[in-house]
A and B are shown apart, each in its own frame.
Chain A
Amino acid sequence: MATYADTETLRFPRRADWRAGVIGLGAALAVLGMYLAVLGAPTERTMGHAQRIFYVHVPAAWAGFLAFGVVFVASVGYLWTRRRPWDLAAHASTEIGVVFTTLAIISGAVWGRAAWGTWWTWDPRLTTTFMLWFIYVVSLMVRAYGGAGNQTGRFAAVLGIVGFLDIPLIHLSVVWWRSMHPLPVVVRAEGFGSGLHPAMLQALLVNVAAFTLLYVALFGIRRAQMAATDALAARHEALRVRATPGSGGRR
């Protein structure tokens, strides 16, 4: 069974190369994506330039949900195997997921303000993203305030699984709720390929790819950091034990 001392710190310098590569590629795509979003894509008919926030909002939301999918898989993996690397993956993905989801909500609010004059609407997709944000935050709270040792990891894993299964139900219930109170302005340009101009779709996809790569890079870095912290804690513990008299074992 993997213990804290088994984690990968000593290999960190070699692994840095692939992460740098991913960041580089992601950054390049992001630059291209921003160019297409701001200058390349045509202006939307009803909302004008404000609509361009869409090219940040949708990829950020996508990355947020992708991160949660990874949390789910890592959580299942951790409960199944009880090996620490899965716990680290779940933790890292939770942190990165919060970041992207926060970005998605803020950009969604800004877009709403610019397009419809109000900072917040209970649009189903935005609401579900907001609930996902809450579940992320609560997950981090559990990790911060949880019990000792292995418990926090297991609790967070349970939350990751329960939360993931809950998201579709949350979405369905919000959709039903909003169907009774339709929004004053219905936005149709959000769906993939549902009436999107090809140039818009292209810009969107480039940005989605960029955000995905950024997620992968950030996830990898954060996970390696956590593994290093683990290894450091294990070293501390080993030194403490060696320093204590009488702990040399059987006579």
Chain B
Amino acid sequence: MTALGAVRHLLWKDLLLEWRGREILTAMVVFSMLVAVVFNFAFSPSPDDAARLLPGMLWVTLAFASTLGLSRSFVLEQDHGAIEALRLFPFDPSLIYVAKLAANLLYLLAVEALVLPALAVIAGVSLRVVVGPLALILVLGSVGLVAVGTIFSAMSVHTRIREVLLPVLMFPLAAPVLISAVRAMLGILSGGSLGDVGPGLRILVAFDVIFLVVGYVVFEFILEE
């Protein structure tokens, strides 16, 4: 059984469980929609303001929504000791990190596919022309959020204040993602090209690479006893 095979089977289990219950996706989508509506009540953006506020509203929403999915994703391993069972298998525990990360990334991307068009419609912003660059920023940013989020979700599930600790841990460390992704999207929406937001993209890529590697390396220290 290869590493890729192990990740594939782990991911199958997560996706199958989610497909059966659909708890995570439902919670994330409903939450995101509600937050989007609340933002519109709070700011009442005019059509000019809307384009300027959209990236910020989107990434705040995604940051909080991602903590929902990440938290649930490890809670389901905590019940009935499933995480201990995973540690008994003859493979590197860091593969659990890869599989959980992949699952949560898929959930987040699915939520984004629904929420971004919805936000655009509510805010009255046209995105058709810039879908490509926006998608790239979304993917790079999502990978970053999930890379650190998975590390801290595994940690916070063992603590007494589980759901509260995860965003508190994640947000300061995910700050480069939030800052760069928002600014990059703003740049694109105000007519810039991908080249104009190059520095931001580079930061996102650097963040993703660094924290994917760090996450993989430190994960077994989080799981061990």
- Check whether chain A touches chain B (CB < 8 angstroms): yes
Interface readout for B193-220 with A: 1 if CB under 8 Å, 0 if not? 0000001100100110011001000100
Are the C-beta atoms of A161 and B214 separated by less than 8 Å?
yes
Q: Which residues of B contact A145 (CB under 8 A)?
A: 159-161, 165
With an 8 A cutoff between CB atoms, is B110 at the interface?
Answer: no
Q: Which residues of B contact A138 (CB under 8 A)?
A: 168-169, 172
- By DSSP majority rule, is chain A's interface helix, strand, loop, or mixed? helix
Q: Which residues of A contact B159 (CB under 8 A)?
A: 142, 145-147, 155
Listed stretches A90-98, A162-170, A190-198, A201-209; interface member? A162-170
Are the C-beta atoms of B158 and A135 separated by less than 8 Å?
no
Interface readout for A130-167 with B: 1 if CB under 8 Å, 0 if not? 01001100100110011100110011011101110110
In B168-191, the 8 Å CB interface with A consists of: 168-169, 172-173, 175-176, 179-180, 183
In B121-154, the 8 Å CB interface with A consists of: 148, 151
Are the C-beta atoms of A172 and B221 separated by less than 8 Å?
no
Are the C-beta atoms of B179 and A146 separated by less than 8 Å?
no
With an 8 A cutoff between CB atoms, is A180 at the interface?
Answer: yes
Q: A145-B159, A169-B210 are in contact. Are A158 and B179 (CB under 8 A)?
A: no
Q: How far is the CA of A161 from the CA of B80 in the complex (A)?
A: 31
Q: Which residues of B contact A150 (CB under 8 A)?
A: 225
Q: How far is the CA of A138 from the CA of B207 in the complex (A)?
A: 20
Q: How far is the CA of A180 from the CA of B192 in the complex (A)?
A: 13
Q: A174-B179, A176-B180 are in contact. Are A162 and B173 (CB under 8 A)?
A: yes
With an 8 A cutoff between CB atoms, is A119 at the interface?
Answer: no
Are the C-beta atoms of B222 and A154 separated by less than 8 Å?
yes
Residues of B within 8 Å of A, CB-based: how many?
30
Q: How far is the CA of A161 from the CA of B151 in the complex (A)?
A: 12
In A71-94, the 8 Å CB interface with B consists of: 79
With an 8 A cutoff between CB atoms, is B60 at the interface?
Answer: no
- By DSSP majority rule, is chain B's interface helix, strand, loop, or mixed? helix
Q: Which residue of A lies closest to B222 (CB)?
A: A158
Distance (whole angstroms) from the CB of B141 to the closest CB of chain A: 12
With an 8 A cutoff between CB atoms, is B35 at the interface?
Answer: no
Residues of A within 8 Å of B, CB-based: how many?
30
Are the C-beta atoms of B175 and A131 separated by less than 8 Å?
yes
Q: A145-B165, A154-B221, A170-B175 are in contact. Are A165 and B214 (CB under 8 A)?
A: yes
With an 8 A cutoff between CB atoms, is A12 at the interface?
Answer: no
With an 8 A cutoff between CB atoms, is A229 at the interface?
Answer: no
Q: A155-B222, A158-B155, A176-B203 are in contact. Are A163 and B173 (CB under 8 A)?
A: yes
Are the C-beta atoms of B168 and A173 separated by less than 8 Å?
no
Q: How far is the CA of A112 from the CA of B32 in the complex (A)?
A: 37
Q: Which has the most chain A C-beta neighbours within 10 Å: B158, B175, B211, B224?
A: B175
In B34-92, the 8 Å CB interface with A consists of: none
In A26-46, the 8 Å CB interface with B consists of: none
Q: Which residue of A lies closest to B200 (CB)?
A: A176
Q: A161-B218, A162-B148, A177-B183 are in contact. Are A131 and B210 (CB under 8 A)?
A: no
Having A131-B172, A159-B169, A172-B176, one finds 19 other A-B pairs with CB under 8 Å, namely: A131-B175, A135-B173, A142-B155, A142-B169, A147-B159, A151-B225, A154-B221, A154-B222, A157-B221, A158-B155, A158-B218, A163-B173, A165-B211, A165-B214, A166-B175, A172-B199, A173-B175, A173-B176, A173-B200
Leading 4 A-B pairs by shortest Cβ distance: A147-B158, A173-B176, A134-B172, A169-B176
